[in-house]
Amino acid sequence: MNAYEIAKEQYAGLGVDTEKVLDKLKSIPVSLHCWQGDDVTGFDQKGPLTGGIQTTGNYLGRARNPEELFEDIRKVFEITPGTKKLNVHASYAIFDEGEFADRDKIEPRHFKRWVELAKEYGVGIDFNPTFFSHPMVKDGLTLTSPDENVRRFWIEHGKACIRIANYFARETGQTCVINFWIGDGYKDIPADRMGPRLRYKDSLEQIFTESYDFDKVKPCVESKVFGIGVESFTAGSSEFALSFAATHDRCIPLMDNGHYHPTEVVSDKIPALLCFFDEIALHITRPVRWDSDHVVLFDDETKEMAKEIVRSDALDRVYMALDYFDASINRIGAWATGFRNWQKALLNAMLMPHDKLKELQNAGRFSELMACQEGLKLLPVGAVWDEYLRRCGVKGELEWFEDVLAYEKETLSNRK
């Protein structure tokens, strides 16, 4: 027997059907963020990345235009298993020669090439208005700005983005998750914390008057605890975003696991929210001391997040998107490593006998539960993973990076 056959029998002994798991895993959409390829620069501006987020590093080969970014995305699709969605930011609008539309005026046609790419692969598109890296960000503020001209500009941006999300959903026939994140906040102790939040609430309410079909277009509000340069106050805090989503129909909360205090874990928050929300959304990242957006690894908290989704039987209630950006290493390698690792985490979670473990917990058999959970860690997940890669036509763990090296040599190194 080969390693997979042995693993299959071993898992069958625990009541886990690896064949079903492999079929299911292949069908779960995970959103691949376009912004790992160019350090969150986008195509509509040349300025620095703002909004309290930062990329560090200057590895060769950053994608500088749509052609290069698409080429890179194709490579990542090729070297990663499973079903993808494209996750696009508004700043990645593609204009014709000599054409430009500001963020409040962008239209679906500026994203036509993204739709073409999605259609080529039969994948959906998720979307994000871009409330950063733009001259209309005044004193670090957008939707919370006390300057009505500024706030109006960004409200119009939000509405324009909903129209684009409608277009993506219509064209691809798949749900479009549209995520609202703003970096608005203050570096130092503010004199008014409620005013900015009331303006943010009002701005979102105005944006969501734009019509959309909630079966197809899913607006989310993403919270954050702080950002670089806005250490003392963030308008879109966790309480703000959760309360907004809870009190507004047709809007769901999004948790980014880099956006909490270091000892808080999103794995614990997932089932808590699932008690109250039909659907939730995630940004999967890896915070190292802070919201550093490191590449997702197959580490404990990543595994735990996947387990909570699977245990809660919520694979169809949680929209999963990756969100990291490392400019210090090969960007294709970074992108693919994170995507592959989230797939591994899902596989690992799906291979666990959750009903049995829950029974042990409910029966108060805690030492047995501990021993069992520890025992599961050394089961042959890797053999099932190898089989999954084989079935997806993707290279194995110790082989796929050869392709990245070849791509770096042939393509990335020519980008000077």
Task: Assess whether 290 carries a catalytic annotation.
Answer: no
Select from ligand RNT, Zn ion, none the partner in contact with residue 72, using the beta carbon and a kind-dependent cut-off of 5 to 8 Å. Answer: none
CA distances from 272 to 242, 244, 275, 312, 325 (A): 12, 16, 6, 10, 28
For residue 71, count CB atoms less than 10 angstroms from its CB and return exposed for 0-12, middle for 13-18, buried for 19 or more.
middle
Select from Zn ion, ligand RNT, none the partner in contact with residue 171, using the beta carbon and a kind-dependent cut-off of 5 to 8 Å. Answer: none
Single out the segment in contact with Zn ion by CB under 5 A; choices: 35-43, 119-127, 319-327, 399-407. Answer: 319-327
Q: Which two tokens mark 412?
A: 């990335």
Note whether 283 binds Zn ion by CB under 5 A. Answer: yes
Q: What share of the chain is helix, strand, coil (3-state, %, to 5)?
A: 45, 15, 40
Whether 39 contacts 325, CB under 8 Å = yes
156/165 Cα distance (integer angstroms) = 14
Select from Zn ion, ligand RNT, none the partner in contact with residue 212, using the beta carbon and a kind-dependent cut-off of 5 to 8 Å. Answer: none
Catalytic residue among 256, 279, 308, 326: 256
CA distances from 256 to 238, 270, 285 (A): 10, 11, 7
Contacts (CB under 6 A) with ligand RNT, residues 14-53: 35, 40, 53
CA distances from 217 to 173, 213, 302 (A): 11, 6, 27
Catalytic residue among 8, 201, 224, 269: 224
338/75 Cα distance (integer angstroms) = 14
Rounded to a whole number of angstroms, the minimum distance from the CB of residue 351 to Zn ion is 28
Please give the helix or strand (H or E) that residue 372 lies within, else none.
Answer: helix 366-376
Note whether 256 binds ligand RNT by CB under 6 A. Answer: yes
State the Rg of the chain over Cα: 22
161/311 Cα distance (integer angstroms) = 34
Q: x/- site string to ligand RNT, residues 321 to 360, per CB under 6 A?
A: --x-------------------------------------
Note whether 269 binds ligand RNT by CB under 6 A. Answer: no
Contacts (CB under 6 A) with ligand RNT, residues 380-409: none
Whether 93 contacts 106, CB under 8 Å = yes
Q: Which residue lies nearer to Zn ion by CB, 46 or 261?
A: 261
Task: Assess whether 213 carries a catalytic annotation.
Answer: no
Rounded to a whole number of angstroms, the minimum distance from the CB of residue 304 to ligand RNT is 20
Amino acid at 254: L
Whether 257 contacts 287, CB under 8 Å = yes
Helix or strand or coil: residue 230? strand
Task: Assess whether 335 carries a catalytic annotation.
Answer: no
Select from ligand RNT, Zn ion, none the partner in contact with residue 223, using the beta carbon and a kind-dependent cut-off of 5 to 8 Å. Answer: none
Note whether 256 binds Zn ion by CB under 5 A. Answer: yes
Backbone phi, then psi, for 253, in 5-degree steps?
Answer: -85, 150
Task: Assess whether 342 carries a catalytic annotation.
Answer: no
Helices (H) and strands (E) in the chain, counts: 14, 12
Rounded to a whole number of angstroms, the minimum distance from the CB of residue 341 to Zn ion is 17
Task: Assess whether 184 carries a catalytic annotation.
Answer: no
Catalytic residue among 8, 283, 294, 303: 283
Task: Assess whether 46 carries a catalytic annotation.
Answer: no
Rounded to a whole number of angstroms, the minimum distance from the CB of residue 90 to Zn ion is 15
Amino acid at 411: T
Q: Which residue lies nearer to ligand RNT by CB, 8 or 269?
A: 269
Task: Assess whether 326 carries a catalytic annotation.
Answer: no
Task: Assess whether 215 carries a catalytic annotation.
Answer: no
Single out the segment in contact with Zn ion by CB under 5 A; choices: 132-140, 280-288, 367-375, 378-386. Answer: 280-288
Note whether 126 binds Zn ion by CB under 5 A. Answer: no
For residue 357, count CB atoms less than 10 angstroms from its CB and return exposed for 0-12, middle for 13-18, buried for 19 or more.
middle
Note whether 72 binds ligand RNT by CB under 6 A. Answer: no
Q: Which conformational region is residue 335 in: left (phi greater than 0), alpha (psi within -120 to 50 degrees), or beta?
A: alpha
Whether 379 contacts 11, CB under 8 Å = yes
Single out the segment in contact with Zn ion by CB under 5 A; choices: 192-200, 255-263, 269-277, 352-360. Answer: 255-263
224/334 Cα distance (integer angstroms) = 24
The residue from 199, 283, 286, 331 that contacts ligand RNT (CB under 6 A) is 283
**Nearest to residue 177, comparing CAs of 296, 92, 280, 270?**
280
Single out the segment in contact with Zn ion by CB under 5 A; choices: 187-195, 245-253, 254-262, 385-393. Answer: 254-262
Select from Zn ion, ligand RNT, none the partner in contact with residue 224, using the beta carbon and a kind-dependent cut-off of 5 to 8 Å. Answer: ligand RNT
Note whether 224 binds ligand RNT by CB under 6 A. Answer: yes
Would you tell me which residues interact with ligand RNT (CB under 6 A)? 35, 40, 53, 128, 181, 222, 224, 256, 283, 291, 323
Would you tell me which residues interact with Zn ion (CB under 5 A)?
256, 283, 323
Catalytic positions, please? 181, 222, 224, 256, 259, 283, 291, 293, 323
